[in-house]
Amino acid sequence: MTSTVVLLGPQGTAPDIGDALAEHGIRGPVALVRAGYQEREAEDAAMVATLGVPAVNLTLHARSVSVFREDGEFTAAYQARQHRLRHIQTFYRVRLDKIDDAARTVSVRYVEPELLEQEEKVSVDQFRHIDADHVDRCNALRAMFDTRWRPAQRPLIAKHHDEIRAILETCDALVIAGGHVASLLNRLQLFDVLGLAADKPVFGWSAGAMVLTDRIVLFHDFPPYGSDIAQVLDSGLGLAPGIVVLPDPRRRVNYKATLGIQRFARRMAPATCVAMDPGARVVFENGSIVRAVGARLTTSGQVDQDWDGSPSRFSSPFLRGVPL
C-alpha cells in the first residue's frame, strides 16, 4: 500500500503540483502518466515544466497502442470486454434516469414533511442499490477477463511491465495527470502501474485524482446536452478510499441546488464528497486523510467551503442508525 497519496484540483493557469511535490520532499525524477490525453500523451513539455523536478513519461497510451496492434487475440478479447462495459453503463444510465424522474416527482408533492423525508430516503436507497449493483457487475466482468486472459502473462505486456518497473525504480514518486478518465483508468490497470510503483508517493489531479479513489463518479449539473444525473463509472484504484472527487466544481456543480446536493451526498455516503477547484488538496497517509483544503458537500445539503479534512460542521440526522 502506497503510504502517501496527494489529490489536487485542476492545474489550469496556476498549477500547484510543483509546490505539492516540494512540500513532500520530492526532488525527482518522477514518473509521469499522461494516458488520459491519449494521442497528445507525448506533448508533455509544458506540464513537466510545472513539476519543478525531472520527469519520465511512462507513455502508457503509446504502449497500449503497441499491444493492441501486435497482440490480435488479446485485442479482440479486450475490445469485446470494453463493448460489454459500455452496454452495461448504458443500461445502468437508463435505470438511473427512471429513478431520478421518480425522485424528482415525489420531492415536490405537498405532504407532511415527515412523510416526504421518508420518501426521500426510499429514493436515495434506490440510487445506492443501483450504484452498488453497477459497480459489482463491472468488477465481475473485469475479474472474469483477467482470470481468462491473465494480461500480465502476455509476453508483450510483460515486456512493458519490466520497462515500466525499471523506470519507476529510478523515480521518487508517481504523478498522474488528468484527461479522459476511462482511458486513464484502463491504461493504469492494463500495465498494473500502481502495483509496480509499490510504496512510492502518488500525486494526481482532476481525472488523475478520480482514478485513485475507490469509486469514480461522473457528474455535471450544467451538461451541454442530456440529463444532469450523476453516474458511477466504475471502481477506482482504491488508494484514496472513502472519498468522491468532484474536480472543477465551479463549472460543474450547482451550489444553489440544496436538494440536489443533499440527495447526492446522501447517495454517496458514507463517502465524503469533495469539490476540488484549483488549489484544493487532500492528503492521505496510510489510507486516511491527514489534511485537506476543499469544499465538502454534506448530507444536509450545505456546502462546507472551509473543509479541512475533519468531520463536517454541518450534520443531518438522515443517516443516523441506517446501515451503510
pLDDT tens digits, one per residue of 178-197: 999 999 999 999 999 999 99
pLDDT for the residue 1: 52
Domains contained in the chain, CATH given: 4-61+155-319 (3.40.50.880)
Q: What is the pLDDT of residues 44-79, one digit of tens each?
A: 999 999 999 999 999 999 999 999 999 999 999 999
The rounded percent of the chain whose pLDDT value lies above 90 is 83
| Sign of the alpha-carbon dihedral angle for 301, 248, 64, 231 | positive
CA-CA distance, 137 to 284, in Å (whole number)?
28
CA angle 245, 34, 29 (to 5 degrees): 105
103 band by pLDDT with thresholds 50, 70 and 90 = confident
- Give the pLDDT mean for 73-86: 97
Give the pLDDT score at 113: 81
Instruction: Give yes or no for residue 25 having a pLDDT over 90.
Output: yes
How would you classify residue 316: left for phi > 0, otherwise alpha for psi between -120 and 50, otherwise beta? Answer: beta
Residues 255, 261 contacting (CB under 8 angstroms): yes
Asked if residue 255 has pLDDT above 70, the reply is: yes
Strands 30-33 and 4-8: unpaired
Q: Kindly tell me if the per-residue pLDDT of 324 is higher than 60.
A: no
Closest CA to 195 of 167, 172, 170, 161: 161
Q: What does the buried/exposed string (b/e) look like for 30-60 if buried means 16 or more CB atoms within 10 Å of the residue's CB?
A: bbbbbbbbbeebeebeebbeebbbebbbbbb
Q: Given pLDDT bands bounded at 50, 70 and 90, which one contains residue 323?
A: very low
User: Given this model, what pLDDT does residue 214 score?
Assistant: 95
Mean pLDDT of 244-251: 94
Nearest to 79 by CA among 95, 97, 67, 96: 67
- Scanning the structure block, which residue is given the C-alpha cell 423525508? 117
Q: Indicate the average pLDDT of the chain.
A: 92
Q: How far is CA 163 from CA 103, 104, 157, 169, 309, in A?
A: 51, 52, 10, 10, 37
The answer, yes or no, to whether residue 318 has pLDDT greater than 60, is no
The amino acid at residue 31 is: A
Given this model, what pLDDT does residue 89 score?
Answer: 96
% pLDDT > 70, the chain: 95
Residue 2: predicted pLDDT = 61
